[in-house]
Structure 1
Amino acid sequence: MNAEPSIQSKLLDLAAVDAELTRIEHRRKVLPEEQEVQRLEAERTTRKDAAVKVEIIIDDLDRDIRKLEGEIEAVRKREERDRGLLTAGSVNAKQLSELQHELGSLERRRTVLEDELIDVMERREAASANHDHAGANLDQAEQDLVDAERRRDDALADLKVAQQRCESDRAALSGGFPADLIAAYEKQRAGFGVGAALLQARRCGACRIELDRGEISRITQTAADVVVRCPECNAILVRTKQSGL
C-alpha cells in the first residue's frame, strides 16, 4: 500500500483525535463525579435506613405509652369506684377491709405503672431527639447528593462537548485519506486501539517497543510513499525527521 508522506503524516493528527476520544470515553467510565454520586447514594440509603429504624422505635414506644396510659386510667377508675363505695358507707366490715386492701394494691400498681410510663416517655423523648438528628442527617445527605448530581451532569456535559468537537475534527480528517489507507487504519485501531503512530528515535509510538537494527534498516530502505507497519503491534508507522532513520 502506498500513500504520499504528507498524507501519511496526517494519520498522526487522526490518531491524536482518536486518542483524545479514547481518553474521553475512559474518563466517562471512571468519572470521579459519578463515583461521588454513587457514594452519596449509598450514604443517603444508610441515613434513610437509620431514620426509619428510629421511626419504628418511636412507634413502638408510642404504643407502649398508650398501653400504659390505658392501664393507669383503668386502675384510677377502679380506685375511684372503691373510694366511692367507702364514702357511701354501704359496705359491711368484711367488704370494708377488702376494699381497703384492694385500694392499697391499686395504689401500688398505679405507682409502678406511672414509673414505667415516665421511663418510656423519657426514652420516647430521647428517640425523638435521635429522630430529629437522623432527619437532619438525611436532609443533608439528600442535598449533598443533589449537588453531586449537578457536578456529575456538568462534567458529563463537558465531556459530550469535547467528544462532539473531536468527532467533528475526525470527520473532517478522515475524509482526506485514500480508501485503502483509512480502511487499514480503522482495522488496526479496532483491533489494537491505535491505528497509526510516529516512529520516533527508532521506537514505535503505539506499542513503545524499540525496533531492532535489522528492522530499522529495512524501513530505511523502504520508499517514503510505502506504508510500513510495526513488526510488533502492526500499527502504521509514520516516518518523519524524528524517526532517526
Structure 2
Amino acid sequence: MKADPFAQLKLLDIADIDARILQLRHQLKNLPETQQIRDLQVERKRIDDVAIDVRTRRDDLTVAQAKAEKDVEAVRVRRTKEQQRIDAGQVTNPKDLERLQAELANIDRRIGVLEDEELEVMEQLEAATTEAAGFDTQVAEIEARIAELTASRAERGAEVERRLAEVVAEREPAIEGLPGDLLALYDRLREQHGVGAAELRARQCGGCRLSVEPAELSRIRSAQSNEVIRHEECGVIMIRTAESGL
C-alpha cells in the first residue's frame, strides 16, 4: 500500500488519541470503587450467611419466651383460684383441704421450675439478640460504606466520561483528509492488535517494543517514503521519522 508520508505521520496522532480513549475506557470499566463495592458485597453475604442461624435462634427463642411466660401465668392463675377457695372457706372437708394444700405445694414447685426455665430462655434470648444486633451493625456499616463508594464511583465515573468525550471529539478532526484505505487498514489492525500504528524509533517498533531485525531494517531503508511499512513481528504500521535510526 502507498500513502503520503504526511498522512502516515498523522496516524501517530490518531494512535495517541486512540490510546487515550482505550485508557479512559479501561479506567471507566475498572474504577477502584467498583472492586471495593464487590468486596463489600461479598463480605455482607458472608455475614448474612453466618448470621442467619443466630437470627433464626433469636426468633425461636422469642417464641419460646412467650410460651414460657404464658405457661407461668397459667399456673399462677390456677394457684390463685385454688388459694381463693381455701381463703373463702369453700373447702371444709379436712381431707379435701389437705389434698388441696398439697396440690398448692406442687403448684408452687411447678411455678419455680417454670420460672427457672423462663429465666434460662430469657438469658439465651438476650445473648442471641445481642449477637444478632452485632451482625446487624456490621451490615449497616457495610451498607453505609457501599453507599459512599457508589456516590464516589458516580462522581469519578462522570469525570472520566467527560474526559473521554473530549478525547473522542478530537478523533474526527484528526482523521479528516486521511486516505480511506489507509484509515481502514489502521482501524482493522487496531481492532486486531490494540495498536494500529506506532513509531519506528531507534530501530524498535513502538507497537510491540521489539527491535527490528537487520534484514527488515534493510528492506525499510530501501522502501520509498510513501510505502506503508508493517512490522513483520506484530503487523502494525511502522511510521518512519528522523528518530527511526535508519
User: What is the TM-score with the length of structure 1 in the denominator?
Assistant: 0.90
Question: How far is the alpha carbon of 1:221 from its aligned partner?
Answer: 0.8
- Corresponding residue for 1:149? 150
- Corresponding residue for 1:190? 191
- Corresponding residue for 1:224? 225
> Where in structure 1 do 4 or more consecutive aligned residues deviate above 6 Å?
none
User: Contact between 1:85 and 1:91, CA under 8 Å: does it hold in 2?
Assistant: no
Equivalent AA in structure 1 for residue 73 of structure 2: E
Question: How far is the alpha carbon of 1:41 from its aligned partner?
Answer: 2.6
Question: How far is the alpha carbon of 1:205 from its aligned partner?
Answer: 1.1
Question: How far is the alpha carbon of 1:230 from its aligned partner?
Answer: 0.8
List per-residue Cα deviations over 1:173-220 (Å, max 9, x = no partner).
112311121111111112221110111121111122222111101100
Distance 1:136 1:211 in 2: 62
Does 2:178 match 1:177? yes
Distance 2:74 2:92 in 1: 22
- Corresponding residue for 1:102? 103
Does 2:63 match 1:63? yes
- Structure 1: gaps (5+ residues): none
- Structure 2: gaps (5+ residues): none
Question: Sequence identity of aligned pairs in percent?
Answer: 37
Q: Which moved more, 1:51-60 or 1:223-232?
A: 51-60
Question: How far is the alpha carbon of 1:139 from its aligned partner?
Answer: 2.4
Distance 1:191 1:90 in 2: 104
User: Contact between 1:37 and 1:152, CA under 8 Å: does it hold in 2?
Assistant: no
Q: Which moved more, 1:8-17 or 1:90-99?
A: 90-99
Does 2:28 match 1:28? yes
Give the secondary structure class of the aligned counterpart of 2:243.
Answer: helix
**RMSD of aligned C-alpha atoms?**
2.1
Equivalent AA in structure 2 for residue 119 of structure 1: E
Equivalent AA in structure 2 for residue 204 of structure 1: C
Q: Which moved more, 1:94-103 or 1:53-62?
A: 53-62
Q: Number of aligned pairs?
A: 245
- Corresponding residue for 2:14? 14
Question: How far is the alpha carbon of 1:227 from its aligned partner?
Answer: 1.2
- Corresponding residue for 1:163? 164
List per-residue Cα deviations over 1:4-47 (Å, max 9, x = no partner).
22221111111111111222222233322111112223334445
Give the secondary structure class of the aligned counterpart of 2:239.
Answer: strand
Distance 1:91 1:221 in 2: 134
- Corresponding residue for 2:125? 124
Give the secondary structure class of the aligned counterpart of 2:144.
Answer: helix
Give the secondary structure class of the aligned counterpart of 1:199.
Answer: strand
- Corresponding residue for 1:80? 80
- Corresponding residue for 1:207? 208
User: Contact between 1:202 and 1:211, CA under 8 Å: does it hold in 2?
Assistant: yes
Distance 1:159 1:89 in 2: 91
Distance 2:53 2:17 in 1: 53
User: What is the TM-score with the length of structure 2 in the denominator?
Assistant: 0.90
User: Contact between 1:14 and 1:173, CA under 8 Å: does it hold in 2?
Assistant: yes
